[in-house]
Every structure is written in structure tokens, then in C-alpha cells.
Amino acid sequence: MDEMIRAVTVYALPLIFAITLHEAAHAFAAKRYGDATAFVAGRMTLDPFKHIDPFGTVAMPLLLYFGTQGAFTFGYAKPVPVDFGALRKPRLHSALVAFAGPGANLIMAFGWLLLATIVEHQSGASGFLFEMSEAGIRVNLLMFAFNLIPILPLDGGRILNSMLPRALAYRFSQLERYGFIIVLALVFLRMLDWWIVGLQNIALLVLQVVALPLLFLFR
């Protein structure tokens, strides 16, 4: 039990940051490209309490973590309201607003990677801060890959929808009402492992290459 409690405390801060900044990034991008809906609703903020969903941000990650004996955890926040029709260039800017969330997770994963390297150099690959840094990398890369699954209402689905011809995009958008059920079913059947694991590995490799010049300073 002590080990479980430690694991929860290790993951708590990275998960809250990952979810909060993901949603805030959507809001900031939407405001940048012409839609102030999230701003007016008070969601263009880094205050986690504005984004936290009691079930998706707290209960669900804990249930998944304990239910899988620490093998998997995931969470979500209250979706940021975006009026895609209000964006200055709806199709292009919809894709950019959608990518802002996963993009924020990628940047956070990079930050946690640098912190893990600094901590490892200073005190070795152990200790609470190093474990938290590794948790931050894992959580953010998972959110990056999961949210880019090209199925609505996920961010990847919105990006794909903005790239499709208008007639096909309309038909694709009709699946949004069933999208989350489809995604959960595919995840449960392990049919998306290749996407999630593959994209995480590619993203981590890219981050390691980008960080290489900085990492040399701590070797």
C-alpha cells in the first residue's frame, strides 16, 4: 500500500500539469485565431481548478492505476469550449487549435526529460524528483499520442477533419457522437497499441535528439 501511495504522489503533479496545460493551450490558440469563447468562459487560464473534472482528472486516473496495478493510467479535463466557425480561417485554424493541446504535452515531456537528466547528473537515477520526472515524460507522451488518434472528438480527429475534402469531412463529422465509444472499444481491444506505443516512441526519440546538445552539458 505504501508503494501505491508513493506512486500516486509521484504521478499527481505531472498528471495535473499535463491535463491543465493541454486544455489551456487549446484556449490560448483559439483566442489567438479569433475565437474568444474559452476566454469569456474563464478557461484561458493555468488555474488547474478551472479545468479539473472530478471524475476524469481525479477518480479515473486512480481507478485505472489501481485497477491495472500501476501498468496504466490516464485522465482528462473538462473540454475547452471552442466555436470553430468563429476562427478566422476555420479549417486551418481548427487544425492548429486542435494540435495546440498535444503540442503542449510534447513541450512538457521535453521539460521533464531535461529535469530528469539534470537530477540524474546531480544525484543519480533514483529519488522522488527523478521518479516524478520520469512520470512526467510518460504521462505527457501518452497524452500526446492518445489525443492524436484520428477519431473525433479527439484532437487527431479534428486535425484529420480539417484536412479532408468538405463533403467527406461532413460525413466524418457525423461519427463524432459515437467517437469516444469507438475509441474506448479500440483501446479495450488493444487495437490501438501500435499507434499509441509507436507514436510515443517516435516522439521520445525526437525529443532525445533535440535535447542532445543540452544533455551533453550534464554528462
The answer to whether 60 and 74 have CB atoms below 8 angstroms apart is yes
Residue 32: name the closest of 74, 88, 72, 83 by CA.
88
Q: From CA 54, how far away is CA 49, in angstroms rounded?
A: 10
- CB crowding 147-176: b at 16 or more within 10 Å, else e: bbbebbbbbbbbbbbbeeeeeeeeebbeee
Annotated catalytic residue 23: yes
Task: Mention every residue, 6+ apart, whose C-beta is less than 8 A from residue 89.
Answer: 33
Residue among 23, 120, 131, 134 flagged as catalytic:
23
- Secondary structure of the chain: what % helix, strand, coil (to 5)? 75, 0, 25
Tell me the residue length of the chain: 219
DSSP one-letter code for 127: S
| Residue positions annotated with a catalytic role | 23
